[in-house]
Chains A and B, each alone.
Chain A
Amino acid sequence: MANAGGIPGPEQKPEALNPNLDEIEEEEEEDDDVVEEEDDDDLEEDDDAAQPQRKSRVDRPKIENLFRRIRNGPVPLRVHDVIVKGNTKTKDCLIEAELDAIRNATTMQEIIQAANIINYKLRELECFDSVEITLDSGPPELPGTSNVIIQVVETKTPLSGQIGTYTKGEAKSSTVEGSLKYKNGFGYGDLWDASLAYGFDRSAEVSAGVYLPRFKGLVTPMTARVFLQSQDWLKFSSYKEQSLGLSLGLFSIRHHDLVYNLAWRTLTDPSHMSSNTVRRQLGHDFLSSLKYTFKFDKRNSPLRPTRGYAFVSTTQIGGLAPDSRCLRFLRQEFDLRFAVPFGFYRTALNFGISSGVVLPIGRDFLRMSTSLPERFFLGGNLSPICSLGGPSALWGFKTRGLGPAEPRRQVRGDSSDENADASERDFLGGDLAVSAFADLSFDLPLRWFREKGIHGHLFACAGNVAKLTENEYRNFSLPKFLQSTRSSVGAGIVFPTNLFRLEVNYCRILKKSSHDHGKNGIQISLSAPL
């Protein structure tokens, strides 16, 4: 058996084939023209030791000749049969679904490359402890053919747990999550999990889901998730939001993602202090929506991009249900950003613009009101660098700290002074939001900081939120919108970690409205890349 040790191990991404002649064993060319792929380099070394040296003098010229042929051009070889061994639980169809490329290969180079890909894909299923692909000679009566033997070792510990930061299709921000996973329960590469998550937007979630890499022949994986989520906005908007629902990941490939959400959402106000608008919105909603995301991120890093660009477009349509009494709306977000390197001290300029609009669907839709949770809110301890996917973050302003606001309920004994503190107002969000930012990041002079990735940045940002529905569009004008745009500048230090980006900034508000919740001073922001 020949061992193409130059081929990268399965724990690495498949790369262009670049065989290394020094590591390749000798083999008889006629009967055993074989290339073997191992996932354990130690086994390769053991094979080296076991090879009888008496063969080396006889086979060496043949091996050299073989690899000269490989280097010089394609070596015709096709696959006669693919044999799968070791899968007692995993269904054959799951493995065979990945074999089209190798079955159609016509040269040895293509076969080796396809074998790399299959190895990677099978290991990606997380069902196997090891995957070994061997190319053996084909039947003697069919010259120029080979048999592919795929030997898998199924995982003995299907149950695992982990903690990390994630984003999911239905989540509006990233979350810190602890989960238990059960792998390959039914042999279809299915991955079951139960998780508890806490989001950076003050949300808590209990959910359970399943991931199916191959569902009824679909080429993209499918996910299904049942969740119970609650978000506490009492401090900012005097309501709590609870959702019980089902999320289906229908379609997820490189740049495209399609998710269907079905949820029963309830808004409550345990404090009984909400403003009139929030009080009118309390109650139950039935949400049936389709969300399509197109994401094109060519930045070199989501935590500290210094080069590249990114574009995200998210479209969400609500009301896709036979019952006309569900929430009907159309929500569109855009996000475009660039990172330009300057070439010294890893200095780079990041700048971008985000916008979003949400409108109800129906006759006289501009008379209707949009649901509070669907509206846009700006502000919070998030960094615009990481918040890719619509307007949300604005340095210097507190969570939901700007935009239309309404006085809360006054009870007996409270002051009814019109100049009430901003904390006694409910921020209602808006139907239209636009934000923009510019961020100049640079390495700090000390080497220790550079080694840890800690760097400094100067930033400026601006944003605004406006209401269009309930006939407010009549009062909307672009000059007025631009004139009332809030803005801030600042500087800070960034501490990137494996899970999130921590920023300690000094922010100075340049322009804000009288009721906005933002102030000059030190602000800490914590965000995970979306």
Chain B
Amino acid sequence: MEQVNEREDFTLVTRKPYFGLPTACPICLPVYIYLKFARLPFHLAFNSTYPDSDIIPYVESGTYVACNNENGGVIECLKKDGIVDLDNGYQSVPEWISMKALISSWLEEALIYELWVGSDGNSVRKIYYPDLAWPIGKVLFLQQVRTVKQQLGITKENSDRREEEIYNRASIAYRALSTRLGEESFLFENRPSSVDAILLAHVLVTLHALPETSLLKSKLLEHGNLVRYAEKLKTEFVEAGSSSSIPPFPSDPSSSTPRKGPSHWSSKPKPKPKREKTEEEKTFRRRAKYFLATQLVAIVLFLSVMNIYDISEPELDNEGDIDFD
């Protein structure tokens, strides 16, 4: 069993919040929800400069780290290391395993397709690249789109067929899950498990992050019990007590202090009027930087013009200190 200093707080590092979700990344949100289901106290920190990382999300406590790309993911690591296990007793239940496989394969594929290929990409730009400079964000986005297409086996010739297949499988999965759930609070035995965590995360991202024109979203909305299930659990576990998991601003140094600017985290997106004001501030700052840069260039040019006559010929002293560079 992993020795973890229980006195050290747990910190979950995810991608940034957006769309009213504590983290809008469909890979990070299940872990967040799982920890909330387990009522494990943790701090939430963000990494917004590594969108193509496979270690995010990760949970750390002192020198202990459970990464997304090891041992089946963060949830499996936490179970194996004895930190938190909500799946006790389910490992041998065939229906539980098949539901988990269904969500982790068909629904996950459908959501990835919809986010990166099926839509205009605005959602993923806000989720993954908000704090990266435009050239970097653009290149990484294009790289990721290509990777997703390769991962899903999509080519120019079979794109329509694969799209239909992906949506059909999603429909089948939604129907099966809706039938299984009924009007219960959770999928199995009226208690949360990791399957609920991944399903809830999928439903929340589909409902909140995808545009209104999304076909996947419309297919999900056909199953009202799934939508009610998600909203209810979101209110009960995700939004309730969310402020306690967000690191206080600005005095807590253990939080993931961003390198590029002061953190303005919140578990909810800013209301629209305030966002517009921030845009104005950004425009003003951009213009101020242009002005400062112009002044700096002017000073440099002035100095170079002043020194033109001083450097028109090399000094011919006998100490041999003419610059050969």
Contact = CB atoms under 8 A, between A and B. Distances in A.
B93 interface: no
Contact of B314 (A117, A218, A320, A407): A117
A325 B325 contact: no
Contacts of A408: 63
Given A14-B314, A15-B318, A409-B65, A471 B259 contact: no
Nearest to B140: A284
Q: Among A220, A284, A410, find the residue whose CB has the most chain B CB atoms closer than 10 A.
A: A284
Contacts of B321: 298
B2 A272 contact: no
Main secondary structure of the interface of B (DSSP, over half): loop
A252 B250 contact: no
A279 B250 CA distance: 21
A154 interface: no
Contacts of B325: 252
Contacts of B69: 272
Nearest to A280: B256
Main secondary structure of the interface of A (DSSP, over half): loop
A282 B53 CA distance: 9
Interface stretch (B119-127, B184-192, B289-297): B289-297
Contact of B134 (A124, A276, A323, A327): A323
A323 B138 CA distance: 13
B253 A471 contact: yes
A282 B296 CA distance: 32
Contacts of B289: 319-322, 324
B261 A368 contact: yes
B5 to A, nearest CB: 8
A328 B260 contact: yes
A268 to B, nearest CB: 8
B316 A285 contact: no
Interface in B281-325: 282, 285-286, 289-290, 293, 296, 300, 304, 307-308, 311-314, 316, 318, 320-325
Nearest to B130: A325
Interface string B49-83: 11101010010100111010110000000000100
Contacts of A219: 304, 308, 311-312
Interface string A253-293: 11000100000100000001001100111111110001000
B262 A251 contact: no
A16 B47 contact: no
A251 B323 CA distance: 14
A240 to B, nearest CB: 13
Given A272-B67, A368-B261, A324 B323 contact: no
B250 A272 contact: no
Interface stretch (A181-189, A357-365, A517-525): A357-365
A282 B67 CA distance: 14
Contact of B262 (A281, A284, A367, A407): A367
A264 B259 CA distance: 15
B108 interface: no
A179 interface: no
B47 to A, nearest CB: 6
Contacts of A113: 316
A526 interface: no
Nearest to A469: B257
A285 B293 contact: no
A363 B290 contact: no
Contacts of B312: 100-101, 219
B241 interface: no
A85 interface: no
Nearest to B58: A279
A92 interface: no
B132 A409 contact: no
Contacts of B290: 322
A218 B300 CA distance: 13
Contacts of B133: 286, 321, 323, 325-326
Q: Among B13, B135, B140, B257, find the residue whose CB has the most chain A CB atoms closer than 10 A.
A: B257
B3 interface: yes
Q: Among B136, B251, B253, B286, find the residue whose CB has the most chain A CB atoms closer than 10 A.
A: B136
Interface in B1-20: 2-3, 5, 13
A369 B135 contact: no
A284 B51 CA distance: 9
Contacts of A347: none
B311 A264 contact: no
B224 interface: no
B258 interface: yes
A220 B51 CA distance: 42
A362 B262 contact: yes
Nearest to B321: A298
A134 to B, nearest CB: 21
Interface in B109-164: 131-136, 140
A25 B157 CA distance: 85
A264 B136 CA distance: 7
A50 B324 CA distance: 37
A322 to B, nearest CB: 6
B253 A325 contact: no
A412 interface: yes
Interface string A361-385: 0111001111100000000000000
Contacts of A172: none
A325 B131 contact: yes
A215 interface: no
A289 to B, nearest CB: 12
Q: Among A276, A319, A363, find the residue whose CB has the most chain B CB atoms closer than 10 A.
A: A276
A409 B63 contact: yes
A120 interface: yes
8 contacts: A117-B314, A272-B69, A284-B51, A327-B260, A367-B250, A368-B258, A368-B262, A470-B253
Interface of A: 13-16, 100-101, 113-114, 117, 120-121, 124, 218-220, 250-254, 258, 264, 272, 275-276, 279-286, 290, 298, 319-328, 360, 362-364, 367-371, 407-410, 412, 416, 470-472
List the 4 shortest-distance A-B pairs measured between CB atoms, nearest first.
Answer: A283-B49, A283-B50, A286-B133, A410-B63
Given A219-B312, A280-B45, A368-B260, 7 more contacts: A16-B318, A220-B311, A275-B63, A284-B49, A324-B289, A328-B260, A416-B63
